[in-house]
Amino acid sequence: MNQHADARKDSRRAGQAGHPAIRQSLGRYVHLPISRAKPGLQTTDALHTENPLPSTGLATLVVAQHMRPFQTLPMLFPPVLLFSTYLNINGFKTDSAGLTAAWSAAYLVLAGRRKQGFGSKFGARGLVRGATVGLCVANVVGGGLAYTFGKREKDDA
């Protein structure tokens, strides 16, 4: 019993899992500290800038919506959004967030010009359009905040 209490004290000091059985099941990962940060604005920005999924997902939804029948103007957006994903993967996370936010806002302006009847909002096309607009709004807000408050680590080096 005394051995387990000592093990718990040591693990709490190191910021690791407290129970010896948990430490044993973690094996070689025991030395990794557990983050105690609460999710907030800064962690949300970090998640948005470190994840290439928003721009790739938006490009996929735009292609699904405008490929058939082919519409030239909306189909100019996916290559730029995929380039934003390329920038994100290559380490230019802040610039990628800004590019995604700007082009998502431009797509929102373009999508806002098309009017849609009430009955067509609940079909397959309406759901895809709603998801596209929702992801655009999320990209504008998240990418705009990440670009505004982000740090350019790779550019400074």
pLDDT digits (tens, 9 = 90+) for 90-136: 989 899 999 999 999 999 999 988 777 666 677 778 888 889 999 99
Residue 30 has pLDDT above 50, yes or no: no
Residue 87 has pLDDT above 70, yes or no: yes
Residue 6 has pLDDT above 50, yes or no: yes
What percent of the chain is modeled with pLDDT above 90? Answer: 41
- Residues in Cβ contact with 105 at an 8 Å cutoff, skipping those fewer than 6 apart: 136, 140
How many CB atoms are closer than 10 A to CB 107?
Answer: 24
The chain-wide mean pLDDT, for the chain, equals: 76
Tell me the angle at which helices 77-89 and 93-113 cross, rounded to the nearest 10 degrees: 160
110 alpha-carbon distance from chain centroid: 23
Q: What is the pLDDT of residue 115?
A: 73
Buried b (16+ CB within 10 A) or exposed e, 39-78: eeeeeebeebbebbebbbbbbbbbbebbeeeeeeebeebb
- Residues in Cβ contact with 64 at an 8 Å cutoff, skipping those fewer than 6 apart: 128
Residue 8 pLDDT level (bands cut at 50, 70, 90): low
- The ranges assigned to domains in the chain are 1-36, 41-156
Q: In this predicted structure, which of 5-14, 57-66, 99-108 has the lowest mean pLDDT?
A: 5-14
147 alpha-carbon distance from chain centroid: 13
Q: In this predicted structure, which of 31-35, 87-91, 128-132, 146-150 has the lowest mean pLDDT?
A: 31-35
Residue 154 has pLDDT above 60, yes or no: no
